[in-house]
Chain A
């Protein structure tokens, strides 16, 4: 009884606190994020927090026999487990699969008390799960020679990299996007270890502040150009606008000379760079800004137009101005273009790949798979799954479908979190699960 009264008192105090204009960190006022998916999302009003929600799922890892759930018509198996924080997967022409295992670069020195607290909270999201991160920052080659969906060969192809993420093969050149440079390595089909030290093609913005450090990489259709995603150095310019030089952009890099230019900008944290197979257009998934409310700002996928500006930091979805940026730039806001397709807020899309081939069920042959790493900046979890966005004529066409779920257990603890996705040589979907230390293979049941 006493306990009950105490609970009531606490609840009452919380309600009083929540009624404040700038206090909106309580879960009760988090509407369903479903209305902000698709080509024309309904964006709610901005709300700035007194205490922003910092709700990350504690990592517990996969126990023996546990695996994610898949949609009807699919089956899932672990292509490789016991990896160390795999963040992306890439299929080589001979069917070998590269798992890029990486750890975040060291945090920059704390600029303010919040950095200490955030660092502490976020450490829950990446730690645990067994395996550990020691010895990571490498690329492991996986080979499933007998085609049973389990890789018999695990060989370290490249080691001692600097927080690698993106990887792409053009001809016999293997390009690895470390957090601070694109490095080229000679590759021979079938080899399981590269001893060449590699050649730096282009340096990329790295530390000392390296907030969004994952450098996603892909090549143009003819292989002459590389596209690399360079994320912003802050949530919303709180590290100073100087720290954002050449960031929040996709760079186009000449593969021969290393010369580069900004291909498109205003993209807060672009990942999953992929060429759409019909139109050959460059697409990306983007992590939008935090701390404007549980349903702002929706992360998105978009085709990337040459020279376009997508708003960050000054505005989002066109001309919705962010009041946290000063000085403001009405000239840039005026030319900001809205992205193609919203994926819902804070789902954290970090991987995307287009469907190819005919081995997956019929509804999943034209469109994009998106790995949603999962939210931290809202009380109800969002994301933590792989979805499929159907396409028609090179454009999204319809609602996303859940393909791989069950990364959170019944207690909302993270058994794994999906990041990069790829299609293997037989047409199955591969999912890098960083805290689950696994690469999952999702294929049709037939």
Chain B
């Protein structure tokens, strides 16, 4: 049996630059969903305040991830390898855009800063992050395997 390319295990793995900020961002947005749920159950303002900070932090890390992702393209740590890559990019950008609007919704005062629109957008962002994660791993495998 011959390999047309070098086996995966033999390549030095270079982590994409966007990886770390993207994960921080995802953690922040996930946290915002959790604190939104906590607020919707308790009406305790502390939870809504947590959400607002988490969204703001997530957007900062998300912005860094966007820059890093562009650098990754130039460093050939990312390329549009098929439909999965496009879905990954679209879903990731959508998370950012949805959370951007969500940050403004969360700047309202008290209950309606979260319920219903803020919580809804947090759920949408969370679902989009799962989509991005699935298609991101497919894309990553394809890139690493050299498709």
Contact = CB atoms under 8 A, between A and B. Distances in A.
**What DSSP secondary structure best describes chain B's contact surface?**
helix
Nearest to B57: A113
B124 to A, nearest CB: 15
A324 B52 contact: no
Contacts of A52: 107-108
B104 interface: yes
Given A22-B117, A324-B112, A114 B107 contact: yes
Interface in B94-132: 101, 103-113, 115, 117
A366 interface: no
A316 B115 CA distance: 21
Contact of B111 (A239, A240, A323): A323
**What DSSP secondary structure best describes chain A's contact surface?**
loop
B108 A324 contact: yes
A22 B107 CA distance: 13
Contacts of A327: 43
Contacts of B101: 50
Interface residues of A, number: 24
A236 B109 contact: yes
B52 A112 contact: yes
Contacts of B56: 113
Interface of B: 43-46, 48-49, 52-53, 56, 101, 103-113, 115, 117
30 contacts: A22-B105, A48-B112, A50-B101, A52-B108, A111-B45, A112-B48, A112-B49, A112-B53, A112-B107, A113-B56, A113-B103, A113-B107, A234-B109, A235-B109, A236-B109, A236-B110, A237-B45, A238-B48, A238-B109, A239-B45, A240-B44, A240-B45, A324-B108, A324-B109, A324-B112, A324-B113, A325-B111, A326-B110, A326-B115, A327-B43
Interface of A: 22, 48-52, 111-114, 117, 234-240, 291, 323-327
